Amino acid sequence: MSADHTAPGEVGALPRRPTVADHIVSRLFSWGVHRYFGYPGDGINGMTSALQRTNGRAQFIQVRHEETAGFAASAHVKYGGGPLGCALVTSGPGAIHLLNGLYDAKLDHQPVIALVGHTATTAEGGGYYQEVDLLALYKDVAAAFLAQLDNPAQVRHLVDRACRTALARRTVTALVLPLDIQDEPAVPNPPHAHGYYQTSNAPSSTPTVPPEADVRRAAEVLRGGQRVAMLVGQGALGARDEVREIADRLGAGVATALLGFTAVDHREPWVTGAIGLLGTRPSWQLMSGCDRLLIVGSNMPYSEFYPPPGQARAVQIDLDGTQLGLRYPTEVNLTGDARPTLRALLNELGPGPGPTAWRAEVAEATSAWRRVQRDLAEQSAEPVNPQLLFHTLNERLPDDVLLAVDCGTTTAWYARHIQVRPGMLASLSGTLLSMGGAMPYALSAKFAHPDRPLVALIGDGAMQMNGVNELITVAKYWRSWADPRFVVLVLNNRDLAFVSWEQRSTEGTPMFPDSQQLPDIAYHQWAEVLGLHGELIDSPEQVRDVWDRALTADRPVVINALVDPAELMLPPHFTAEQARNTAAAVLRGDTDWAGIIRRGLPATLASYRPRRRER
């Protein structure tokens, strides 16, 4: 192997007369970057030419919009496509478009490197076309490391530092690449002289297990609990067995942040499901009743969904020590990777309590909630109950499915009806909560795992935002996937329903049609135009057969589901103020007042009726 971990003839090997762009591609490959999401432009011609010279061994995925490239780079890491996500876009407008997707990566702590084209150095400062101050523009999103490459001898240390920083801090870094520098001769080995750097691309180790004394203190706090709750987030991904063993040892119930959904098997009776505004009532009850709390890899920000301060003694585990103790007054904060830290904690805890009344109570509440959700899904609506689509999908999901979820009402129904189980992968824009993330996530997941089926769950607002365009990307690439199943469910209610409900419940004002109503688009017909398959659902009798056809189709499928905009998303703790505000919106002439009354009463009664035991 050569000094930069790239042997001659391997994917990253440099050509006979390499350019700076060739050197960038080669060095990035040594860090595990082999896929670039982006859109071409003259500001990155040197880079796309270098990628072309790899003869496909480094892959450029052409999306319809640079925002998609940022989302896809974030999702590339989330779905296990590689250790680093990478977006490559041109100068000026391309760089500006990219920002939203990069912020998704930054807020969800995903290591992503952004490569951004720029005006030639000879023209900088002259008011050239598309000249934007990129160092100022990217100062926040790439605060951990941002640099402009102005000399060929910088490539090695700038790429190394950008990659190492992104991985170590799990964040976004960026390199600004002036056009003229990209085509200059490469300097793969800088001279051993003053003012030059000889950097390494060997990966860095990461902290794993906290000191033994701290783990022992954490065990002492948790061991005395009679009613233990756990909250797991994305930091617990990859530690499913340890989470289960800890929960069994403590007799705990487990609630999940949305990004941590795949850290547990949601079929378990002690898994209460999602927490927060779109969460479940059992998760609310779990936190309301616990006397001990163990938080693993989560920083869920809704403080009102944690136990009241002083009620529960708490321990938190996170790889990033700066994230500890930010949401609840924890007694012991353990900085470490979830899996080995939980294993060390297991060694300190000793034998578990065995079956407890608390765990039986958690299981009973969870079982009752699931029955209620089934009943709600089967209630009639106009024309179709959106919950029915998710309930019936849950029964049909392949064991190895990839799930991509958008933000909005789809998130609520996903959180309440989809029981993610081992073998599945699922994600969404968890902290930025950006609409338009599901389709880029779906594309990235499919490129990471082209041999697995995928289902994207999208509202009509997000679909109109970027989904209809990115279906063109699906049409461009789907024949290269080993498994062609790529199912897109569009909840078509002609309403930005989540915002409409927020307006009603928090502001007490009616839905504002000029702001909220959406055009009714025949999404299934657009799919047919692109050579994909389309399905229309406008009655509940069609739902099961459509899912069966879509999940066995020989090409991507778009399901245009006409659903009821009045379907209520009741939070797990529906306050009197929220009820008063919603009633006020109806009285003030909400255009959907009849639907709210029609759907609101049965939904409220079903969600809050007393629990009953299974017989």
Which tens digits make up the pLDDT trace of 396-417?
Answer: 999 999 999 999 999 999 999 9
43 or 571: which leads in pLDDT: 43
CA gap 5, 103 in Å, rounded: 31
pLDDT at position 231 is 98
pLDDT at 337 over 60: yes
Confidence of residue 612 (pLDDT cuts 50, 70, 90): very low
Mean per-residue pLDDT of the chain:
90
- For the segment 141-165, what is each residue's pLDDT rounded down to a tens digit? 999 999 999 999 999 999 999 999 9
pLDDT at position 482 is 98
Is the pTM for the entire model greater than 0.75?
yes
CA gap 537, 547 in Å, rounded: 10
- For the record, the structure tokens of 122 come out as 């000879």
Confidence of residue 547 (pLDDT cuts 50, 70, 90): very high
pLDDT at 6 over 60: no
What is the side-by-side order of every strand in the sheet holding 332-335? 271-274, 253-256, 228-232, 292-296, 313-318, 332-335
Please state the rounded mean pLDDT for residues 67-91: 98
pLDDT at 610 over 80: no
Please state the rounded mean pLDDT for residues 567-592: 59
pLDDT at position 45 is 96
Q: pLDDT exceeding 90 applies to what percent of the chain? A: 77
pLDDT at position 498 is 76
pLDDT at position 126 is 87
**Lowest mean pLDDT segment, chosen from 242-256, 294-308, 510-524:** 510-524
pLDDT at position 2 is 37
pLDDT at position 600 is 55
pLDDT at 535 over 50: yes
pLDDT at 268 over 80: yes
Nearest to residue 318, comparing CAs of 303, 310, 330, 302? 330
**Lowest mean pLDDT segment, chosen from 190-199, 439-448, 462-471:** 190-199
pLDDT at 42 over 50: yes
For 142, list phi and psi in degrees, rounded to 5.
Answer: -115, 40
For 67, list phi and psi in degrees, rounded to 5.
Answer: -55, -40
pLDDT at position 288 is 95
Confidence of residue 255 (pLDDT cuts 50, 70, 90): very high
**Lowest mean pLDDT segment, chosen from 223-237, 249-263, 585-599:** 585-599
pLDDT at position 434 is 95
pLDDT at position 205 is 80
The tokens 């769950």 sit on which residue?
A: 457
pLDDT at position 607 is 54
Residue type, 106: K
CA gap 211, 411 in Å, rounded: 39
pLDDT at position 10 is 43
Give start and end residues of each alpha helix (H) in 199-356: 212-223, 240-250, 281-289, 338-349
Please state the rounded mean pLDDT for residues 208-215: 94
